[in-house]
C-alpha cells in the first residue's frame, strides 16, 4: 500500500466515522420527536404493547380530539407569543440603538443596568410579581404573561441586538445625519433594516421561549381561557393521564409550529447569532 | 457658492485640546486640501465644519451666518466619507434619493436630479444595483453622486481615495478634478494624507500639525517657499534633505558650516546677530545634480533605487543620522560604493533658523528678531 492510498484510506475512514457520529446524534435528537408523533396515531393499547412499532392504522382520531382540547390554549399561546415578541424586539432594538448610537450620560451604567436584568432569576421575583400584578388587576390575564415575557426577555434581546449594532459602521449614521435624517429616521430606515439577521434570530429565540415557558404561565394564569399550551398540556395529562395517544397527539400539535418556524428561519437564526457576537 | 470663515476654532475632548485655535478663510469656489500626518486634526477640523463634531470654542461661518449650533443637514454641506458609507440595503438610486426624500422633494424632482448626477458620474447603468454589486471605484462615485444630488454649497471629502488601489486612485483623482472643473462655483474641502492628491487637486493647501495650521498656500508656494522645516519636509517626495549646521558668516553672502564637514554659500541675507547660531539647510532630492568640477559636496553612494526615469540615490554623509537622498537621472551609471560629487542651484537652497522657521530674503530681518535662548 503506497503512502498516498494509505492517506486516502484514513481520510475516508475519518469521514465515515464523522458521518456515523452525526447520524447517531441526529437519531438521538429526532427519534423521540418522531416516536411522540407516531404515538399520536396509535391506540392507547398499542403504545403499551408495541411501543416501538409503526401504527397499525393511520388514524387522525387522536389528533382531532387532541386539537379540540388544545385549541383554546393554542390561541392564548399564539396571542401571547406574537404580542410579546413584537414588544420585546421593538423595545430591545430601540434600547440597543440608544445604547450604541446616541450620546447619553452615564451610558456604561445604563448599559449595565439593562443587561444586568439577565442575571435576575424569575423564580426569585415570583412572589412580588404576583402581588404587583394582582394589585394592577392584571393577574390571570393575557397581559400578565405578555408583560412578564417582555420584561424578562428585553435584557437578553437587547444584549444580542446591541452586540450586532456595535459592529455597524458609524459612518452610516453620520451619512444619514448629513442627509437630514433625525434619530428616529436613522433607526427606522438605516439601522433597523441592517439589523434584520439579528432581529430574526431574536424573534425565533423569543418565540421558542414564549411558546414553551411554563413557570410564569402556571403561576400567573388560572382560567383555561387564558392559559397557554404548556400549562394546558399539563392539565390534559392530569385529566387524561391514561390516554397517552391523545397526550402525544396534543404534544405533537403544540410542538409543530415551533418546528416549522425554526426550519423556515434557521438561516437567519444561525447567521444572526454568529455575525453579532462572533467577530 | 459659499465662503467659509473659521475663527479661533478649538476642539476639546475632555481636557485634551486637539484643535488649538484654527483661523482660516476659504473663498467661494475654492478647492482647499487639508494635509498633515495622522492625528494632526485634519479630519476633526473637517468633521467640525460638517457639524459632526461640536466646536468647543471659536466661530464658524458660512456666507457670514454663524454655523456653530446649526444641524449638519441645515448647513448646506455634503460629505463624501472615507468608507463611502453607502446604505447597503438600498439600491444606488435609493442611496442617492435618501436625502432628497427626507427633505421632502417630489418624486419627479428626485428622479431628475439623480438622472443628471448619474450621467455626470457614468452611473446610469448601475442605478438598480446594490452597493455590494459595485466595484470600489463605482461605490466611490455613488458616494460622490449622493453628495451632488443635494446641490450643496460646500463639498467635504474625507480621504475619499484611501480605500482604492493605486491605479483606481489615480483615475478617481482625475475624476474629482474634472468634477471640480464642471462645478466651478462649488466650494470643496478635501482631507488627505497623500501629498500627491493635495498637490494635484488643490487651489490652496492647508498643512496641519498637532491641531495647528503650519502654512496655507498654493501647492507651488508650499513646495518652493515652505514656511518652516515641517512643511518643507512634508511637501515633496522623497522628502527634503535636512543638514544641520552653524551660521559661519552673516550678511548678504551667508555661509553655513555644515555638520557634514563642508561649507555652503546661501544667497539668503542674514543679520549679524545670527552669527554662530544653529541653522538647518534644506535641499530637495530633485534639486541635487551630479557635478564633477567644483561640487557642493562629495559623498559615497550606499544604495540606489532605479525607477527607470530617475534613480533615488542614498548617500552617506558624516554627521547625518539618515542618508541623504538625491533624485538623479535614470541613465547615469550609479552603484553603491561609488564616490559622487553633487551640487544644487543656490536659489533652490532653503535655510531654517534654530526654531525651524524659514529664513527668507524678505523676512530675514524679522526672523533675527526672535530672542536668543
Assess A169–B contact: CB distance below 8 Å, yes or no.
yes
Question: Given an 8 Å threshold on Cβ–Cβ distance, is B79 in contact with A175?
Answer: yes
**How are beta strands B310-316 and B297-306 bridged, if at all?**
antiparallel
Query: What is the sign, positive or negative, of the torsion defined by CA atoms of B348, B353, B354, B357?
Result: negative
- Helices (DSSP H) in B193-228: which residue ranges? 195-201, 219-224
Q: Considering only CB atoms, which chain B residues are within 8 Å of A175?
A: 79, 81, 85-87, 146
Instruction: Give the integer Cα–Cα distance in Å for A229 and A89.
Output: 22
Chain B residues in contact with A178 (beta carbon < 8 A) = 50, 52, 72-73, 77-79, 99
The 3-state secondary structure of chain A reads CCHHHHHHHHHHHHHHHHHHHHHHHHHHHHHHHHHHHHHCCCCHHHHHHCCCCCCCCCCCHHHHHHHHHHHHHHHHHHHHHHHHHHHHHHHHHHHHHHHHHCCCCCHHHHHHHHHHHHHCCHHHHHHHHHHHHHHHCCCCCHHHHHHHHHHHHHHHHHHHHHHHHHCCCHHHHHHHHHCCCCHHHHHHHHHHHHCHHHHHHHHHHHHHHHHHCCHHHHHHCCCCCCCCHHHHHHHHHHHCCCCHHHHHHHHHHHHHHHHHHHHHHHHHHHHHHHHHHCC
Q: Within an 8 Å CB–CB cutoff, is residue B13 touching chain A?
A: no
For chain A, residues with pLDDT lower than 70 are 1-2, 240-241, 269-279
The answer to whether A180 contacts B103, with C-beta atoms less than 8 Å apart, is yes
Query: In chain B, which residues have pLDDT < 70?
Result: 1, 361-373
ipTM above 0.95, yes or no: no
Q: Are strands B241-249 and B254-258 parallel, antiparallel or unpaired?
A: antiparallel
Question: What contacts B248, CB < 8 A, 6 or more positions away?
Answer: B255, B256, B257, B263
C-alpha torsion sign, points A113, A114, A115, A121: positive
B52/A174 Cβ within 8 A: yes
Chosen for mutation from A180, A185, A193, A275 (greatest number of chain B CBs closer than 10 Å) is A180
Residue B367: predicted pLDDT: 35
Which 204-243 residues of chain A touch chain B by CB within 8 A?
Answer: none
Predicted confidence at residue B361, as pLDDT, reads 66
Q: Identify the closest residue of chain B to A184 by CA–CA distance.
A: B102
Residues of B in contact with A193 (CB under 8 A): 89
Give the C-alpha separation, B36 to B33, whole Å: 10
Of A172, A174, A196, the CB nearest to B87: A172
Instruction: List CB contacts (< 8 A) between A172 and chain B.
Output: 85, 87
Minimal Cβ distance to A179: which of B52, B88, B102: B102
The x, y and z cell numbers of residue A25, run together, are 446524534
Amino acid at each position: 500500500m503506497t503512502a498516498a492510498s494509505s492517506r486516502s484510506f484514513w481520510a475516508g475512514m475519518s469521514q465515515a466515522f464523522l458521518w456515523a457520529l452525526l447520524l447517531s446524534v441526529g437519531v438521538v435528537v429526532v427519534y423521540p420527536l418522531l416516536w411522540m408523533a407516531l404515538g399520536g396515531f396509535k391506540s392507547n393499547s398499542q403504545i403499551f404493547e408495541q411501543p416501538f412499532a409503526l401504527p397499525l392504522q393511520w388514524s387522525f382520531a387522536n389528533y382531532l380530539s387532541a386539537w379540540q382540547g388544545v385549541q383554546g390554549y393554542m390561541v392564548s399561546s399564539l396571542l401571547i407569543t406574537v404580542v410579546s415578541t413584537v414588544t420585546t424586539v421593538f423595545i430591545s432594538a430601540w434600547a440597543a440603538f440608544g445604547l450604541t448610537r446616541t450620546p447619553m450620560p452615564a451610558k456604561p451604567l445604563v448599559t449595565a443596568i439593562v443587561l444586568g436584568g439577565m442575571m435576575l432569576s424569575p423564580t426569585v421575583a415570583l412572589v412580588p410579581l404576583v402581588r404587583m400584578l394582582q394589585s394592577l388587576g392584571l393577574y390571570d390575564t393575557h397581559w400578565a404573561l405578555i408583560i412578564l415575557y417582555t420584561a424578562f426577555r428585553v435584557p437578553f434581546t437587547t444584549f444580542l441586538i446591541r452586540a450586532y449594532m456595535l459592529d455597524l459602521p458609524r459612518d452610516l449614521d453620520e451619512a444619514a445625519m448629513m442627509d437630514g435624517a433625525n434619530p428616529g429616521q436613522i433607526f427606522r430606515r438605516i439601522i433597523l433594516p441592517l439589523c434584520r439577521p439579528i432581529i430574526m434570530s431574536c424573534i425565533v429565540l423569543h418565540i421558542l421561549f414564549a411558546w414553551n415557558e411554563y413557570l410564569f404561565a402556571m403561576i400567573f394564569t388560572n382560567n383555561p381561557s387564558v392559559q397557554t399550551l404548556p400549562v394546558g398540556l399539563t392539565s390534559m395529562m392530569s385529566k387524561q393521564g391514561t390516554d397517552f395517544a391523545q397526550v402525544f397527539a396534543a404534544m405533537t400539535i403544540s410542538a409543530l409550529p415551533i418546528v416549522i418556524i425554526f426550519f423556515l428561519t434557521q438561516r437567519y437564526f444561525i447567521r444572526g447569532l454568529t455575525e453579532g457576537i462572533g467577530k | 457658492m459659499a465662503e467659509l470663515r473659521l475663527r479661533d476654532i478649538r476642539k476639546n475632548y475632555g481636557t485634551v485640546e486637539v484643535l488649538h485655535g484654527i483661523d482660516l478663510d476659504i473663498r467661494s469656489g475654492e478647492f482647499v486640501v487639508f494635509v498633515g500626518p495622522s492625528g494632526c486634526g485634519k479630519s476633526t477640523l473637517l468633521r467640525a465644519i460638517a457639524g459632526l463634531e461640536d466646536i468647543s470654542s471659536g466661530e464658524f461661518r458660512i456666507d457670514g451666518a454663524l454655523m456653530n449650533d446649526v444641524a449638519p443637514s441645515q448647513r448646506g454641506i455634503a460629505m463624501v466619507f472615507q468608507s463611502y458609507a453607502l446604505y447597503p440595503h438600498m439600491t444606488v438610486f435609493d442611496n442617492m434619493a435618501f436625502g432628497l426624500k427626507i427633505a421632502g422633494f417630489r418624486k419627479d424632482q428626485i428622479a431628475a436630479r439623480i438622472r443628471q448626477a448619474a450621467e455626470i458620474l457614468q452611473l446610469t447603468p448601475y442605478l438598480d444595483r446594490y452597493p455590494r454589486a459595485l466595484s470600489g471605484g463605482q461605490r466611490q462615485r455613488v458616494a460622490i453622486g449622493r453628495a451632488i444630488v443635494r446641490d450643496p454649497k460646500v463639498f467635504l471629502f474625507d480621504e475619499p481615495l484611501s480605500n482604492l488601489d493605486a491605479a483606481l486612485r489615480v483615475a478617481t483623482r482625475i475624476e474629482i478634478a474634472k468634477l471640480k472643473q464642471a462645478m466651478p462655483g462649488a466650494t470643496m474641502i478635501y482631507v488627505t494624507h497623500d501629498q500627491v492628491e493635495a498637490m494635484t487637486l488643490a487651489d490652496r493647501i492647508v498643512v496641519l500639525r498637532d491641531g495647528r495650521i503650519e502654512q496655507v498656500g498654493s501647492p507651488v508656494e508650499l513646495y518652493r517657499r515652505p514656511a518652516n522645516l515641517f512643511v518643507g519636509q512634508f511637501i515633496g517626495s522623497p522628502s527634503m534633505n535636512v543638514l544641520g549646521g552653524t551660521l559661519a558668516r552673516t550678511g548678504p553672502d551667508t555661509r553655513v558650516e555644515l555638520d557634514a564637514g563642508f561649507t555652503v554659500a546661501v544667497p539668503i541675507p542674514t543679520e549679524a546677530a545670527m552669527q554662530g547660531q544653529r541653522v538647518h539647510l534644506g535641499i530637495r532630492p530633485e534639486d541635487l545634480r551630479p557635478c564633477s568640477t567644483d561640487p557642493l559636496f562629495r559623498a559615497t553612494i550606499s544604495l540606489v533605487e532605479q525607477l527607470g526615469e530617475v534613480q533615488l540615490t542614498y548617500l552617506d554623509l558624516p554627521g547625518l543620522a539618515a542618508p541623504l537622498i538625491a533624485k538623479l537621472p535614470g541613465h547615469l551609471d550609479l552603484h553603491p560604493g561609488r564616490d559622487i560629487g553633487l551640487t544644487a542651484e543656490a536659489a533652490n537652497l532653503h535655510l531654517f533658523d534654530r526654531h525651524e522657521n524659514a529664513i527668507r530674503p524678505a523676512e530675514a530681518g524679522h526672523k533675527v528678531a526672535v530672542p536668543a535662548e
